[in-house]
Structures are given as C-alpha cells and as structure tokens.
C-alpha cells in the first residue's frame, strides 16, 4: 500500500504519540506505549495485510495479545480520527 512497510508505519505511530521507535517496539504497560502498539498492530494487520502472527513475533507478544491490540487500535484510530496516510 503506497510503498509502506512496517518501519514506515512505526515512524507514523511514533510521530503521533511522540515516542521513539524502541519505545513502541518493546514491552511496557505505560498508557501511551500501549496505545501506540495497539495502533501499530491495527494498521500493520488491517492496512498492510500482514498477519497477526507476524506482529506477535515482531513485538514478542502472543497472537491473542495482538488480536486484542488490533481491536484497541481500531478504536484509537476511530476516536482520534487517525489515518495511516494523511490525504
């Protein structure tokens, strides 16, 4: 999609939440990091079409945690009116 890859999605998420890439890609339960990872999972799986299993491996979390993150991420994107690509 528009030449996007996971790293570009990470860049977009870090821009939105004012975090460093390593803060998004490593574990932690701080609310901003959870939101950022949730949005990342949602966009990578739903917009890029990569698998939840891929994200589970990339983030070192379970597939069920990715599934829950996708649901949270969709809500975050809707509530904050966020799009992966600004039109």
pLDDT-based confidence at residue 29 (cuts at 50, 70, 90): very high
pTM (2 decimals)? 0.94
Instruction: With cut-offs at 50, 70 and 90, classify the pLDDT of residue 87.
Output: low
Positive or negative torsion for Cα 83, 84, 86, 87: negative
Compute the distance between CA of residue 21 and CA of residue 54 in angstroms, rounded to an integer. Answer: 18
Given a cut of 80, is residue 22 above it in pLDDT? yes
Residue 74's pLDDT is 98
What domains, with CATH codes, occur in the chain?
6-79 (1.10.1750.10)
């Amino acid at each position: 999609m528009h030449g996007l890859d996971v790293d570009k999605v990470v860049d977009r998420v870090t821009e939105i939440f004012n975090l460093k890439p390593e803060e998004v890609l490593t574990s932690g339960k701080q609310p901003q990091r959870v939101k950022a990872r949730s949005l990342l999972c949602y966009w990578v799986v739903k917009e890029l079409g990569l698998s939840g299993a891929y994200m589970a491996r990339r983030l070192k979390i379970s597939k069920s945690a990715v599934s829950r993150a996708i649901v949270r991420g969709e809500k975050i994107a809707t509530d904050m009116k966020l799009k992966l690509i600004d039109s």
